[in-house]
Amino acid sequence: MSVRPDVMTESVVDRPAPKRPYLKGRWMDLGERVRPLQGLLRWRSFQFLAILPNLFLFYFFILAALWGTPVGNRNIMIVFVWILWWFILITLWVPLAGRLWCTMCPIPALGEWLQRLRLVTVRFASKAKGFKNVLFGLNRKWPRALDNIWLQNLLFLTLATFSALLVTRPIVSAFVLGGMIVLALGLALVFRHRVFCRYLCPVSGFLGLYAMTSSVALRSRDWDVCVRCPTKGCMLGSENGWGCPWMVYMGKLDRSNYCGLCFECLKSCPNDNIGLFVRPFGVTETRILHLDEAYKAFIMLVLAAVYSVTLLGPWGTFKDWANVTETGDWRGFLAYAALVWGACLVAFPAMYGLLVKVSQWASRWRGRRVLVPASASANGAGEPDFRTLFLRFSYPLVPLGLLAWIAFSLPLFFVNGSYIVSVLSDPLGWGWDLLGTAHVPWKPLIPEWVPVLQAGVLLGGLAVALRTGWAIAWELWRDPRRARWGLAPMAGLWLMVTVGFLWLFTG
C-alpha cells in the first residue's frame, strides 16, 4: 500500500512501508511528531490523574443533586452535566477526539480500581488465567450472546424515553449516574475487564459510534510487528501495563468503535508499536460491520429529531406527554414512548431498508444498460447483497447524525449558557455567591445567530455524508454510473433528513 510521505515522519519513511491497511488517507502519528505526548500517555499515573478531577466533579454533582435545590437550572448537576458537559462532549470531544472522554470518565473507575486492586501501578503475574495481570473478582467471561451493543442501544433508548426528567431533575440525573457507577462496580467484580463500558454504558454506545468518524484514533503502527510479537502485551498485559480493558487486540484494530483510549497498550507494548494518530474528520475508510451498530446510528439520528421536537420545538402536547411527572398524563407518556421506540427500532430502519432495496434495484437496472468496465471485474466488485448495502450505507448516518446532534446542542448551550455563570457562584442553589456572579440574569447568547450556525452544521453534515456515501458507492460498484444510481435514493433520504432538521431548527 502507498503511504503519503508528506504526512509521515522521517523515521517512518526510512523504514520499509509498514503494514497498516487502514492508513489510506492523511494520517499523522502524533506520538512520533510530539514525543512528550507519547511520554505523557505512557506515564502510569496519567489515567488516574485524568480521572481524578472528573471523579471529584461528578461526586460534587451527585452531592449537589442530593443536597441542593431540586430546581434544575439552579443546580450544578443539571447545568454542568446537561448544558456544559454535554455541549463540550458532543461539539468538541467526540468529533475531534473520539472516545477521549472514556480516558477520563469516572463512572467505571471505582469498579476498575477494585478489580485491579491498584489505582496507578500494575499487578503482574507470569500467568493468571492466560493473562499477565492479576484481577480481583470472579473474572468471568462476558456471554458470547451479548457480545454486541444491543444492550447499550436499549439502555440508551430507555434513558432517552425519560430524558425530559433526566435533564430537568437533579435527583433523577444523580440516580442515573450513581446507578451507572454501582452497576459498573458490580460488573467489574463478576466479569473481567470493562464489560460495563463495552456492552452496557449508554454513553459509551454513541461515543463508540461517533468515534468512527472522529479525528483521533489509536492504532498499531505496523500490523506485522503485532503478528510477530510473542507476548501480545497489549491484549494480555505486561509488567508495564494492563491487558486491554476493552478486550481489543491492537494487531487487528482498524476501527475506533471499541477502543476506549485508556492508553494501556502504549504502556504494555514491548515494541513501541502503538501510536495515537490524527486524521481528517469524517473518514471514509471505516465501516459499520454489524446490525447492532447500524441500529445505533438509526437510534441516534431519530433521537436527535425527537429531542429537537420535545426540548426545542413549540409542540406543547408532545412536551406534556414526555414530561409525565409534571403533567401526570401517563396515557400520553405511553403514546410518546411507543412513538419514540417505534420510530427508532421499526419505522426508520424499515424506511432505510426500503431505500437500500431501491438503491439495489436502481444500480442493477443501470448496470443492465451499461457494460461493466474491465477494471470493475478486475477489482472483484461483484453485485453487493442487501445486507452489505444496508450496513455500508448506514455509515453515512454517523457523520450526519453527529452533526445533527451538534446542531441540536447549539441552542441548548447558547440559550441556557448564562445559567453556567450564575451556578458557578451558587452550585447547590443554597444562596451562595462564591464569585459574585450568582445574580447574573439569564440571557441567551447570540440567539439570532444560532439558527444560522445550526444550518451551517447541518449542511456540513450532509456534505460529509454525501462524500462518504459516494466513497462507499464507488467501492461497492466500481462504476460511476451504477454508483450514482445506487447512491441517489440514499442521498435523497439524507437530504430529506437534513431539510427536516433545518425546518425544525429554523422554522
Partner 1 sequence: MRWKDGLKEGVALATLLLVFVGLPWALRAYENGQVRRLATGRPVFTVYANAAFGTWTTTPLVGWTYFWRKPEPAHIQVRAGQPFVLRITAVDVHHSFGIPQLGIGPYDVEPGRFLKLELKVDEPGLYTFMCYTVCGRHHEKMMGTLEVVGEGQ
Q: Which is nearer to partner 1, 79 or 406 (CB)?
A: 79
DSSP 379-393: TT--PPPHHHHHHHT
Q: Identify which range of 74-82, 288-296, 377-385, 472-480 contacts partner 1 by CB under 8 A.
A: 74-82
What's the closest the beta carbon of residue 65 comes to partner 1, in angstroms?
5
Q: Is 74 in the site for partner 1 (CB under 8 A)?
A: yes
Can you tell me which of 8, 23, 28, 65 binds partner 1, judged by CB under 8 A? Answer: 65
Q: Is 59 in the site for partner 1 (CB under 8 A)?
A: yes
HSE, side-chain direction, 13 A CA sphere, residue 259: 29
Binding mask 416-435 toward partner 1 (x if CB under 8 A, else -) reads ------------xxxxx---
**How buried is residue 234: exposed, middle or buried, by Cβ count under 10 Å (0-12/13-18/19+)?**
buried
Q: Identify which range of 15-23, 54-62, 201-209, 493-501 contacts partner 1 by CB under 8 A.
A: 54-62
HSE, side-chain direction, 13 A CA sphere, residue 202: 18
Distance CA 440, CA 417 (A): 11
What's the closest the beta carbon of residue 102 comes to partner 1, in angstroms?
20
Q: Which is nearer to partner 1, 37 or 119 (CB)?
A: 119
CB atoms within 10 A of CB 273: 22
Cell numbers at 243, concatenated: 491487558
What's the closest the beta carbon of residue 178 comes to partner 1, in angstroms?
11
Distance CA 485, CA 480 (A): 9
Distance CA 319, CA 338 (A): 15
Q: Is 174 in the site for partner 1 (CB under 8 A)?
A: yes
Is the separation of the CB atoms in 208 and 258 below 8 Å?
yes
Can you tell me which of 37, 92, 119, 227 binds partner 1, judged by CB under 8 A? Answer: 119
Can you tell me which of 7, 8, 28, 64 binds partner 1, judged by CB under 8 A? Answer: 64
Q: Is 111 in the site for partner 1 (CB under 8 A)?
A: no
Q: Is 437 in the site for partner 1 (CB under 8 A)?
A: no
Q: Which is nearer to partner 1, 150 or 175 (CB)?
A: 175
Distance CA 66, CA 79 (A): 15
Give me the long-range contacts of 61-67 (CB less than 8 A, separation at least 24): 61/173, 61/174, 61/177, 62/174, 62/177, 62/178, 64/170, 64/427, 64/428, 65/170, 65/171, 65/173, 65/174, 66/171, 66/174, 67/428
Q: Is 171 in the site for partner 1 (CB under 8 A)?
A: yes
Can you tell me which of 120, 190, 334, 496 binds partner 1, judged by CB under 8 A? Answer: 120
Distance CA 120, CA 72 (A): 36
Can you tell me which of 19, 24, 33, 118 binds partner 1, judged by CB under 8 A? Answer: 118
Q: Which of residues 131-170 bind partner 1 (CB under 8 A)?
A: 170
Distance CA 424, CA 54 (A): 16
Distance CA 290, CA 407 (A): 27
Cell numbers at 471, concatenated: 466513497
Q: Is 75 in the site for partner 1 (CB under 8 A)?
A: yes
**How buried is residue 385: exposed, middle or buried, by Cβ count under 10 Å (0-12/13-18/19+)?**
exposed
What's the closest the beta carbon of residue 240 comes to partner 1, in angstroms?
12
Binding mask 298-317 toward partner 1 (x if CB under 8 A, else -) reads --------------------
Q: Which of residues 397-416 bind partner 1 (CB under 8 A)?
A: none
Q: Which is nearer to partner 1, 55 or 94 (CB)?
A: 55
Task: Count residues binding partner 1 (CB under 8 A).
Answer: 33
Sign of CA dihedral 449, 451, 457, 462: negative
Q: Is 66 in the site for partner 1 (CB under 8 A)?
A: yes
Q: Which is nearer to partner 1, 52 or 151 (CB)?
A: 52
Q: Is 52 in the site for partner 1 (CB under 8 A)?
A: yes
Q: Identify which range of 53-61, 95-103, 240-248, 267-275 contacts partner 1 by CB under 8 A.
A: 53-61
Q: Which is nearer to partner 1, 239 or 475 (CB)?
A: 239
Cell numbers at 503, concatenated: 425546518
What's the closest the beta carbon of residue 58 comes to partner 1, in angstroms?
11
Contact footprint for partner 1 (CB under 8 A): 44-45, 48, 52, 55-56, 59-60, 63-71, 73-75, 77, 118-121, 170-171, 174, 428-432
